[in-house]
Chains A and B, each alone.
Chain A
């Protein structure tokens, strides 16, 4: 989300060097192309290579995580051209390139070379006419083509260079091409032989030094010693201009802001080496350092770097960018948990942005405040909370549309949908909003918003109990749209998938899935915490079901200790905590916990589904204590709300709880009818725990029904048969969860049923299984 603020960061007007020896070699290659020395089949690879180096900074050509190539090494050029035949028979393009490079035999020749580049550009006055190229003529570039612009920039930068810098470039160039001397010599010796000797081949670097020994004082004075030259040759290959460094830094910032990742360590090191070798540091570097420190969770370091950056850029960007500094500070503070401080900073941002009439910044700040309010309602002062009602969202929507901030508009639509869902409002409205957002994403090509939209869509499907569609949504996003998505969305989608898998009872698979997440994505502390929370949660659930209470307690403590930021996770963890209490038969504690949780959610206007789940948990707790009827009104209310909000899995759970209450009231047939009718939908939810509960209730209902018809043996047997059938199914479901206690209970029931049906052998078998399960084998 921070990218909007960042895309406004202006380029530093550092007047650094643009030209490097590598760029000169690239220019030489371009001139070869212009002079039609490159035959048609080789044009595409050569031009691809050239373009890769010219438009690298646009980022589009490069896959996620690979830096733009800054150094144009001779090896790369050689690899590209050494196998390609040129238009001159018997010579490869590489030979011609070497010739071009070695033809520059003095500084003046280099000067000529650069100045003459202008002749490769089409004359704008003649550009009107269609240009038909005749044989042997140069093919010209238009002035505004990519290569044309490159040539113009190169000549401009060269003419801007003071003489001393230009000679440095020349010396760098000499060192750069030095390694090709043997190849050039060899190639030209053969040329000498074949043409019968054209005289000694000029191989010295500078024609004015020809004939002087390499250790002549004049040679040493100009180009250093021979050994130095070799060393410099290596250095010159790594020679990068300020422009290149800025490109690299911009790439890093882009990576970190758009995708939210940190740059791989190896690249960080190489960049550091480059920056260390230079006297002048581009200011953007501090920003990169800030981002890096931020992502790695170094609070103090990131503050220091951010201030450093804004101090150094003060003179170039004025106070107009004060709001961006504040914005960054606010986000930073929020990330480190200083919520109140962050709110204050953001308010300041809003005020400053208003003063400066910076609509983009204002909108972004408001949107951020809105989200922050949603996430941490307890930290928001009343003023803000009041402002952050529905109106602010629609305001934001309108403003975003007005100022053409499509990304923000799309996000606002999503927020609207989310709000509708949490407040149990019309599902249709939510769908409409998602669709609007999706439309915007598609028509305006907002790649990095697709993730949020699909994850939200998936959560809507979960709420509707269409588990398969929910899975599919996440999978689709992860396989097809991952390229330009922010890492945050990627991690979220992956965690959600794992969680959905865990619901089916396939804990190991879910954990595997989490383990296999790309380590690059977890480089940022925040996402790592998110990911770790989900892992812990899944493990906690598994242990709870398996009855490994000690391990569960340990896991729970860990989760509670971590300050997990996601409200949904908090609720989930608290519910698990209640479960643990229940398993330990600490019913009163569980009840207390649930009550406070319900109050908290009420106060913060939390997600409706969480609130319903707490209510139902309470009802279940009461049922466990044998006072199921007490939960009747709660259950009924939950069911009514769930129905209205179309929270189907919760509705089903409510029905199961209700049926259980009915069973307590000896209304077996009604209870059975209530659940039996919705069983197909329940199975569709693919929630093993829900299935287990429902089937268990059905068993109880059938057995109860059988109890009512004890006089009619046939009917009773029929009911018992159904009960047995369902016991087996239920056994499988609990088996998935690894819930041995529940399985043992089922076997107990089975044994009793068989006892009633007087199937002694089967009864004994079931009893034995029960005992075995209880023993824990």
Chain B
């Protein structure tokens, strides 16, 4: 990815900065560029070493950086091998930083700034990196690679809004805004209108279309999202970008054969792209062939260690195989790559929950919830954790939050709306019962009953009815109790229990009003 984005940067540079190479350095620059193009980075760097013109100087440092990256990749171990970790580092970084600092002190150059940002980011110096990158894009906004790096720094919606103030008012900035919001699952009217506006300018842009589809995906509007991806695929069959997200959508929609088709298309285009491997891995996962799917995710990671979705999906597969420790490591690596993936956080939480380390789990659920504040799933998981940790008050709060999340999502999505609702309601009611607040409990149980006309009789409603019947019976409100028990019996749910209760209440009624 780095290589590609850098070469686009260079071509842009070629177009605009022709005069930026002095005549005596022209030959050297050409030679170095040729070496660079055939991936002989060290050689390229040596050729233009000491050049002063900005183009050659950039190439010198950039080639050095790439050489370091290459060596780093070569030194790192097999994916998830015993020695695999983030220990290996690009050893050229300190030298490059030093040189850059001296050069930037003399003269500010947009590409050197970009490189400075990249290097700083690699050294986890995010604040300075942010400044450098902002300066770089302000000077020359058409370097998308710089925007890409900038994107990794913005870790929350607040970051984005702050950044928008620092950034220049430019067309590309809007693109950046769309991307950043999308990655943060931050969907609102403003982002939508931005996408619409941009689409008016670039009606054929597949990138914009896929952003729109991803936004819809975050809103759980899978059908619409699928439609858009279909269009993209038909108009540009050789495009692989974001296909892994498309495969996730199909996975969630349970469309296995369509997923197979997408995998086929991807595989026909390029077998060795991480996107392709992810799609195929998803397909095998759906066929419950988890070993194979792990193989493909691993391949994706071998191709690009920073490929986020592969790490997360690999974690999911390990969970399926009950290899919790491997799953935890995979999720952790996903988070290390990109801290914005709520699925990885959530997965970590789940894994720790399986290991009954609830406090840990809670922390990760909270992180996930922070990323998806309106996702009831996160809140429900969090509540379950509280429940297990015997903190009913917090659990009730979380469940309530989950409910509210649901109601907001219910309009667009029928997936887990009511069903989860009833379950949550019963959980809340039972928790209230536990803290001896029967009135609240009754309230929530009654709420649960209200869902009956929509859902029909189901287990949760039966539980609620049975609970209520017992409650009413204890309060000697026998008429209501009998009615509920009878309803329960007629629906054929909890037959034994309800029959016994009907008989019991009948007896009591007889005793109270002897004939």
A residues near B, CB below 8 A? 106-109, 111, 115, 159, 163-164, 167, 170, 206-208, 212, 216-218, 220-222
Contact = CB atoms under 8 A, between A and B. Distances in A.
B455 interface: no
Contact of A108 (B233, B237, B260, B280): B260
Given A108-B256, A208-B258, A163 B265 contact: no
Interface stretch (B136-144, B267-275, B420-428, B500-508): B267-275
A167 B237 contact: no
Contacts of B289: 159
6 closest residue pairs by CB, A with B: A108-B257, A108-B260, A221-B237, A218-B237, A208-B261, A107-B260
A111 B267 contact: no
A660 B140 CA distance: 126
B380 interface: no
A222 B264 contact: yes
A208 B238 CA distance: 16
Given A163-B280, A216-B234, A170 B264 contact: yes
B257 A106 contact: yes
B234 A163 contact: no
Interface of B: 233-234, 236-238, 256-261, 263-265, 267-269, 271, 280, 283-284, 287, 289, 292, 296
A167 B257 contact: no
Nearest to B280: A163
A163 B267 contact: yes
B238 A221 contact: yes
A221 B240 CA distance: 13
A163 B257 contact: no
B264 A107 contact: yes
5 contacts: A106-B261, A107-B264, A115-B287, A163-B283, A221-B268
Q: Which of A108, A115, A163 has the most CB of B within 10 A?
A: A163
Contacts of A163: 263, 267, 280, 283-284, 296
B273 to A, nearest CB: 12
Contacts of A108: 256-257, 259-261
Instruction: Label chain B's interface by main secondary structure.
Output: helix
Interface centre among B238, B256, B257, B265, by most chain A C-beta atoms within 10 angstroms, is B257
Nearest to A112: B257
Nearest to B260: A108
Contact of B287 (A106, A111, A170, A217): A111
Main secondary structure of the interface of A (DSSP, over half): helix
Contacts of B234: 212, 216-218
Contacts of B260: 106-108, 111
A106 B280 CA distance: 15
A664 B367 CA distance: 130
Given A109-B257, A111-B260, A163-B280, A221 B265 contact: yes
A217 B268 contact: no
B257 A222 contact: no
Contacts of B259: 108
B397 to A, nearest CB: 44
A170 B265 CA distance: 12
Contacts of A107: 257, 260-261, 263-264
Nearest to A206: B261
B508 to A, nearest CB: 53
A660 B376 CA distance: 126
A221 B266 CA distance: 10
A221 B284 CA distance: 23
Nearest to B234: A218
A164 B271 contact: yes
A167 B287 contact: no
A167 B267 contact: yes
Contacts of A111: 260, 287
Given A164-B267, A167-B268, 14 more contacts: A106-B257, A106-B260, A108-B257, A108-B261, A111-B260, A111-B287, A163-B296, A167-B264, A170-B264, A207-B257, A208-B261, A220-B237, A221-B268, A222-B237
A214 to B, nearest CB: 14
Contacts of A222: 237, 264-265, 268
A165 to B, nearest CB: 10
A222 B256 CA distance: 18
A106 B296 CA distance: 21
A292 to B, nearest CB: 38
A109 B264 CA distance: 13
A170 B263 CA distance: 13
Contacts of B269: 221
A109 B257 CA distance: 7
A221 B238 CA distance: 8
Contacts of B233: 218
Nearest to A207: B257
B240 to A, nearest CB: 12
Contacts of B263: 107, 163, 167
A115 B258 CA distance: 18
A159 B291 CA distance: 11
Contacts of A159: 289, 292
Nearest to A216: B234
A212 B234 CA distance: 9
Contacts of A115: 287
- Max count, chain B CB within 10 A of own CB: residue among A107, A115, A159: A107
A103 to B, nearest CB: 13
A115 B286 CA distance: 14
A206 B268 CA distance: 15
B265 A218 contact: yes
A120 to B, nearest CB: 19
Contacts of A216: 234
A347 B256 CA distance: 65
Contacts of B292: 159
Most buried by A among B268, B283, B289, B296: B268
Contacts of A220: 237
Contacts of A109: 257
A159 B264 CA distance: 16
Contacts of A167: 263-264, 267-268
Contacts of B238: 221
B475 to A, nearest CB: 55
Contacts of A217: 234, 236-237
Contacts of A208: 257-258, 261
A5 to B, nearest CB: 41
Nearest to B284: A163
A166 to B, nearest CB: 9
Nearest to B259: A108
A210 to B, nearest CB: 11
Nearest to A208: B261
B281 to A, nearest CB: 9
A167 B280 CA distance: 11
A208 B289 CA distance: 23
A111 B271 CA distance: 19
B402 to A, nearest CB: 35
A563 B455 CA distance: 99
A651 B268 CA distance: 84
A772 B258 CA distance: 100
A206 B263 CA distance: 14
A710 to B, nearest CB: 112
Nearest to A105: B257
A718 B322 CA distance: 117
A118 to B, nearest CB: 13
Contacts of A207: 257
B308 to A, nearest CB: 22
A216 B287 CA distance: 30
A106 B283 CA distance: 14
A208 B233 CA distance: 12
A368 to B, nearest CB: 50
A217 B235 CA distance: 8
B270 to A, nearest CB: 10
Nearest to A107: B260
A719 B238 CA distance: 112
Nearest to A110: B260
Contacts of B280: 163
B460 to A, nearest CB: 34
